[in-house]
Amino acid sequence: MISEFKVKGKELIDKVEELINEGNIRRIIIKDEKGNTFIEIPVTIGLLGALCAPILTAVGALAGVAANFTVQVIRKDPQQNSSDENLTETK
């Protein structure tokens, strides 16, 4: 499932942190108002706070470059997760 959010530069870091903490996100793509991709962030279950810091620093730098962003979020498929859980339960 793909969703998009429009955010201002100052809101960008907060939105990315919020999405990372949700836990059901596969990838976050940050684009400028013209649709150019600035950064793609793969988000995995194993993403820890220590790994988030450099990513958020890069996102913060982007916030100073442009005023308006589109944050595209690719979420995990809930049906895929349940089938993965079934596989791990049977092992």
- Please tell me the pTM assigned to this model: 0.68
Q: In three state form, how does the secondary structure of 60-81 look?
A: HHHHHHCCEEEEEEEECCHHHH
Alpha-carbon span 1 to 11, nearest angstrom: 23
Distance CA 79, CA 8 (A): 33
The residue extents of the domains of the chain are 2-90
Confidence band, pLDDT 50/70/90 cuts, at residue 87: very low
Predicted local distance difference test score (pLDDT) of residue 73: 92
- Residues 32-63 pLDDT 10s: 888 889 888 887 654 555 566 677 777 777 77
* 29 within 8 A of 71, measured Cβ to Cβ: yes
The answer to whether 9 touches 64, Cβ cutoff 8 Å, is yes
